[in-house]
Amino acid sequence: MNMKKVLVTGDRPSGKLHLGHYVGSLLNRVKMQADHETYIMIADVQALTDHFATPDLITKNVHEITRDYLSVGINPELSNIYIQSQIPEIAELTIYYMNLVTVSRLERNPTIKTEIAQKNMEDSILVGFLCYPINQAADITILGADIVPTGEDQFPMIEQTNEIVRKFNRIYNTNILKECSCLVGSTGRLPGIDGKKKASKSLGNAISLADDSTTVKEKIWNMFTDPNHLKVNDKGRVEGNVVFTYLDIFHENKDEVSALKDHYQKGGLGDVKLKSLLYEDIESVLTPIREKRQTLTNKQVIDVLQNGTQNARKKAQSVLHSVRNVIGFNY
Ligand code: TRP
């Protein structure tokens, strides 16, 4: 019997993966796949909750995201990469969970609240969107997840998942569902290049893993620094300066970063110098990823998705079978 802990995670394919995903969760997934039973979901159904009218934005990215995964070192021998919409059992489980969650609890979910505000949806909240945390609870529990490696913004989803698990087990007097824990990358949240709180494809402020060198350079050159640092000799601010935030994460030599910070604060250190350094650091992350991407064929990508989806579905079917039994739907 396989006693490895189960790791379940995923991303919406409504945009390409970027450096925020890389430091927030991809590195953890790559590291952990060797000694965990790993499932990585491409959450196309969830992406539809805010892109239902433009599904091609989602579908055309499914293969791209798979390429991103494989290029950063997700190994299809160790990790199952699968597509949410191809596992209808998740939708069925979502329906059962809907009886266990109140509308007001969903409205209080901090991630949902932020997204509603961001999209100015306050007066027209769609049921599908409001319920996506329930769908995500089904994603996670239908594979018996122990650990969910993901970005910091997903904490509220895990909390809500565990509430559903406890309620289900209590009401149906069972222990078939497991609580899980969230695992966030050690570097925390990566800000956008514009200084906004979070790098995100939809805000157009992220460096994608698939960006070419010219695009990366352009983005770094446009990065938000200190708007009052106009001349090299001006004293500069380090707090809120995105170039330093990125150097803290991507520059290996931490002593050098703190020396640069001192210099910048005293005056005499130009932005271009810092940006050139950061460009080298980010290129050294992205170059091997680009090289790996070059080697992937379409057939490989399709095979990986087919295999991963088949494995995930088998497991989902068995968990759903237990759920139906517990409810009594076994006529
Ligand atoms: N909500 C996640 C995101 O926006 C994607 C996701 C869907 C997910 N289902 C999941 C993450 C299950 C972890 C586990 O990125």
Q: What is the pLDDT of residues 296-330, one digit of tens each?
A: 999 999 999 999 999 999 999 999 999 999 999 99
Which of 158-162, 197-201, 280-284 is least confident? 197-201
307 within a domain of the structure (yes/no): yes
For ligand 1, say whether the CB of 139 is within 6 Å of any of its atoms.
yes
Q: What is the pLDDT of residues 261-289, one digit of tens each?
A: 999 999 999 999 999 999 999 999 999 99
Residues 71-75 have a mean pLDDT of 97
- For 21, the enclosing helix (H) or strand (E) is helix 19-21
Task: Name residue 6's beta-bridge partners.
Answer: 37
- Check: pTM over 0.85? Answer yes or no: yes
Tokens at residue 216, please? 């990366």
Residues 127 and 265 in one domain: no
Q: How confident is the model at residue 188 (pLDDT cuts 50, 70, 90)?
A: low
198 within a domain of the structure (yes/no): no
Residues 149 and 25 in one domain: yes
Residues 142 and 171 in one domain: yes
List the domain range (segments joined by +) for residue 61.
6-190+299-327
Give the per-residue pLDDT at 153.
85
Residues 145 and 288 in one domain: no
Q: Is the dihedral of CA 99, 102, 103, 109 positive or negative?
A: negative
Q: What is the domain-level CATH number for residue 113?
A: 3.40.50.620
Residues 272 and 154 in one domain: no
The count of domains in the chain is: 2
For ligand 1, say whether the CB of 90 is within 6 Å of any of its atoms.
no
202 within a domain of the structure (yes/no): no
208 within a domain of the structure (yes/no): no
Give CA–CA dist 310/291, Å, rounded. Answer: 29
For ligand 1, say whether the CB of 8 is within 6 Å of any of its atoms.
yes
Q: Which atom of ligand 1 is nearest to the CA of 43?
A: 7
Residues 6+ apart with CB under 8 A from 40: 9, 10, 29, 69, 74, 79, 80, 81, 82, 308
Residues 165 and 246 in one domain: no
Q: What is the domain-level CATH number for residue 265?
A: 1.10.240.10
* Atom 11 of ligand 1, residue of closest alpha carbon: 10
Q: Which of 36, 46, 68, 190 to mutate to test the pocket of ligand 1 (most atoms within 8 A of CB)?
A: 46
DSSP string, 99-157: GG--HHHHHH-HHHHHHHHHTT-TT---HHHHTHHHHHHHHHHTTT-SEEE--GGGHHH
Give the per-residue pLDDT at 196.
77
Tokens at residue 5, please? 């802990």
Residues 183 and 111 in one domain: yes
* Atom 9 of ligand 1, residue of closest alpha carbon: 136
Give CA–CA dist 263/211, Å, rounded. Answer: 31
